[in-house]
Chain A
Amino acid sequence: MTSADFNGNKGQLFVELLRADDLSKSYDDETAIANVSFSVAPGEILGIVGPNGAGKTTLLETLAGLIASDSGNVLWCGEPLPAPRRKEAMFYMPDGITPYQDRVALDVVSFFSSVYKRSQAVISDTIAAVELAPVLRKRVSALSKGYNRRLLLAIGLLTPQDVLLMDEPFDGFDIRQSRNIIQVLRHAAARGRTLILAIHQLADAERVCDRFLLLAGGKVRGIGTLRELRTQTALPEGSLEDIFLALT
């Protein structure tokens, strides 16, 4: 570990696991993200919060090495982590995909489990945690949006990488379902896994994340715990929504 500072929220020493340093990406003349820098600690849930088009997905895909950044670096425990090696450290679960839609859900889960040599107990627990069992016999193409999202969550949770990046993990869930999934994600973080979640629903983000990176127009507008952001915006009782509006 090469750097550490103080995490104001939990009163703990902040140990840096992953750092994004000045990441920028443009498509033709349009800037998707500009000079984005942040870091995360082991077991932390970081929410990348912003409206549609803020650059959340581009940031996640650049971090995961699925998009070549124009500039900037990603550091792992202080050491540069080149794009081809990012998959050793993190797994990115995109939004809006229907993986292997002609296969039944169990085949898809089994494929990812067998690649990572997950035990049957782990698979069963994961399926139970995301409540996927009722649709295991169904083809992925026939799954509802909510169950497709549960399948993606199950795949993400079965991967062993230290950092899990997820794009809109609550999309397709109602309030009750979102609460259950928040518990599942918190449980994963409690076991030491770092989660970086791109969320546009601020209420969901506030419930699940330890820290927030507020993104708008591809630029970082604020970063920190809810308490730090309230201090920064002088809104002591402000919600994440109030803070976001104040900063953008």
Chain B
Amino acid sequence: MHAARLRPLLAKELAEITGGRALWTMLLLVCPLVGYSFAQAVSLYSEASATASQTPGAATNLSPLDGILIPTFGAFYVAVTLLFPFVAIRVLGQEKESGSLRLLLQLPYRSSTIIVTKLAAVLAAWALVSIPALSALGAWVVLGGHLAPLETLNLVFGHVLYGLLVGSIALFSTTISDSAATAAIIALATTIGSWVLDFTLAGRSGWSAWIAELSLTQTLRTFEQGLLSIGLVLGISAVICGLAALSTVWLPPGVSMRGKIARSVLCLLVTIAALGIATQIGRSFDVSEDRRNSFPSADQQLLATLRLPLLITVNLSPEDPRYIDFKRNVLGKLERAMPNVSVVVAGSRQDFAGQSDAYGQTQYVYGNRSDVSRSTSPREILPLLYALAGVQPPAAAPGAEYPGYPLVVNADATLFWFFGGLPLLIACAWWRSRHPPAVKLVAFEGGQS
């Protein structure tokens, strides 16, 4: 048997996904959703900018990442969570229901090739439905707004991974379901259930916190903070690959149930192992323009030279707002800046009953020296650490401060694009996809005898 060509299979998958109503309907729904969020975000950003212009130094808090990108892509996230499963289900659901899958599985392709091609089609579909959100970025630039390339790309990359994750869940649920309707129920139960899980268990400790960490929404948080975490990227990739592998296992019909279950267990074990390895990779990069996840560069350089182990024992409960603040402003930054940092959270508030003096204290042990502080501010912690290490605090580098990007602008005109122009273009593209050019038919019609 000859080697099968990938191109016709990929072309077929792309044509299938663009030929369905689900994709175009989602695109039309995303336009006003993203457009309204964008206009609201610009309005609020403008108000904050107007206030900042009267307060010296307030402009440094105005970041387009927080003010514009996250709210705009937040609306897109909601659309992907609720609607994208329907689009992704089509790449397999239609073939299952029409019986075409039985033909597809007999073509000279491996099941894994078919699944990977379908995932590629899902990615292409995501790229199409992201057009309104990406056009919002263009609109922001046209309005005179600032975009930092790295943090913008990082955020978009996070949404690509999230889209692929939702797509692979939908694909797997279609593989194990008899109908597209059942697949939709399974996929939505996973995405919406995960969403509910996230805000229900937010701020809890112990098992609740651990379960909340499993929420799909958590995958975006790190990217929204301007961080590119290698462990997170690998973890999400492992889950996507695991779901693709499970889909490959369940796709061929001529395999016994026992065989499928055995292979699924193997896939699950490999995925869990890969996830475990990914969680051990603490390497991350601060790609935010305002360096919100890092100390000033002079401090970063000096902290990187402190090679001895630093043990930090925090006597705060994980749900205490002070701990959350401390983790964001100090602990997370220290873990990225120093080569050898260990953090121990001493326990819940009940553990400190009767020892009210100890609660709130943090102990720092560096080499054979230690100190205690109740502060959660880097302005006090960093000098303490330098003293423990016996080094002089670095001089602040002039001009390194984030300037902020205030902008007072009216975005109402963009609503014409999101509510009129873009939907019209999408409707035209939809119509065009339903009426392909007739030129290519002539050769075959001429062949009739």
**Smallest CB separation, B219 vs chain A (Å):** 33
Structural contact, B446 and A115, CB atoms closer than 8 A? no
Minimum CB distance partner of A107 in chain B: B15
Q: What A residues does B95 contact at CB under 8 A? A: 100
CA distance A133 to B94 in the complex (A): 25
Within 8 A of B (CB), among A129-167: 131, 133, 136-137, 155
**Smallest CB separation, B24 vs chain A (Å):** 12
Structural contact, B444 and A106, CB atoms closer than 8 A? yes
Stretch in A84-92, A180-188, A191-199, A205-213 touching the partner: A84-92
Q: Does A97 contact B (CB under 8 A)?
A: yes
Structural contact, A94 and B99, CB atoms closer than 8 A? yes
Structural contact, A111 and B256, CB atoms closer than 8 A? no
**Smallest CB separation, A125 vs chain B (Å):** 7
Structural contact, B5 and A92, CB atoms closer than 8 A? no
Structural contact, A104 and B444, CB atoms closer than 8 A? no
Most chain B Cβ neighbours within 10 Å, of A114, A120, A123:
A114
| Complex partner residue of A133 from B15, B253, B256, B444, CB under 8 angstroms | B444
Q: Does B445 contact A (CB under 8 A)?
A: yes
Q: Does A101 contact B (CB under 8 A)?
A: yes
| Complex partner residue of A99 from B9, B100, B105, CB under 8 angstroms | B100
Structural contact, B254 and A94, CB atoms closer than 8 A? no
Q: Does A4 contact B (CB under 8 A)?
A: no
Stretch in B220-228, B299-307, B433-441 touching the partner: B433-441
Within 8 A of B (CB), among A48-87: 64-68, 83-84, 86-87
Minimum CB distance partner of B102 in chain A: A94
Structural contact, B254 and A68, CB atoms closer than 8 A? yes
Given contacts A87-B107, A114-B8, contact A124 B99 (CB under 8 A): no
**Smallest CB separation, B362 vs chain A (Å):** 60
Structural contact, B444 and A92, CB atoms closer than 8 A? no
Q: Contact flags (1/0) for B49-76 with A, using CB distance below 8 Å?
A: 0000000000000000000000000000
Q: What B residues does A92 contact at CB under 8 A? A: 102, 106
Q: Does B356 contact A (CB under 8 A)?
A: no
Q: What A residues does B449 contact at CB under 8 A? A: 128
Structural contact, A115 and B99, CB atoms closer than 8 A? no
Minimum CB distance partner of B18 in chain A: A102
CA distance A97 to B447 in the complex (A): 26
Minimum CB distance partner of A122 in chain B: B447
CA distance A183 to B320 in the complex (A): 82
Structural contact, B441 and A124, CB atoms closer than 8 A? no
Structural contact, A115 and B8, CB atoms closer than 8 A? yes
CA distance A192 to B98 in the complex (A): 31
CA distance A201 to B426 in the complex (A): 50
Within 8 A of A (CB), among B418-449: 436, 438, 440-441, 443-449
Q: Which 10 A-B pairs have the closest CB atoms?
A: A124-B447, A97-B99, A114-B8, A133-B448, A65-B254, A99-B100, A102-B19, A128-B448, A83-B254, A87-B106
Q: Can you name 11 A-B residue pairings with CB atoms under 8 Å? A: A65-B254, A86-B254, A88-B1, A94-B99, A94-B102, A99-B98, A100-B98, A102-B19, A107-B15, A117-B2, A125-B447
Question: Which B residues are closer than 8 A to A by beta carbons?
Answer: 1-2, 4-5, 7-9, 11-12, 15-16, 19-20, 94-95, 98-100, 102-103, 105-108, 252-256, 259, 436, 438, 440-441, 443-449
